[in-house]
Amino acid sequence: MADLTAKAKRLGIRPAAYAKKLIEESLAFQREAEESSFAKIMQPVRQAAGDVDDAEITDLVETARAKHHVNGRRRRCR
């Protein structure tokens, strides 16, 4: 709460108005995400990746998960 108050003060608005603004922005973002298809959300990623097919993406994700799980186990055992 102190961070919110400090940020509102820096912006020159009341904390309540700043909190309302944050909530409204968050709800708008959530609404947009709920109305977007996964394909639409992933479009910029696919464009940046170039000619990568779904099988390659799946392999990358599975490899990253496996590495993450192995590393996670190592940290817990120490």
State the DSSP string of 17-30. Answer: HHHHHHHHHHHHHH
pLDDT class for 52, splitting at 50, 70, 90?
A: confident
Q: Per the structure block, which two tokens stand in for 28?
A: 């708008």
Structure tokens at 73: 């186990």
> Could you state, in order of their start, the residue ranges of all structural domains in the chain?
1-35, 37-78
At 3-30, the pLDDT tens digits run: 999 999 999 999 999 999 999 999 999 9
| pTM for this model (two decimals) | 0.48
Tell me the torsion sign for CA atoms 68, 73, 74, 76. positive
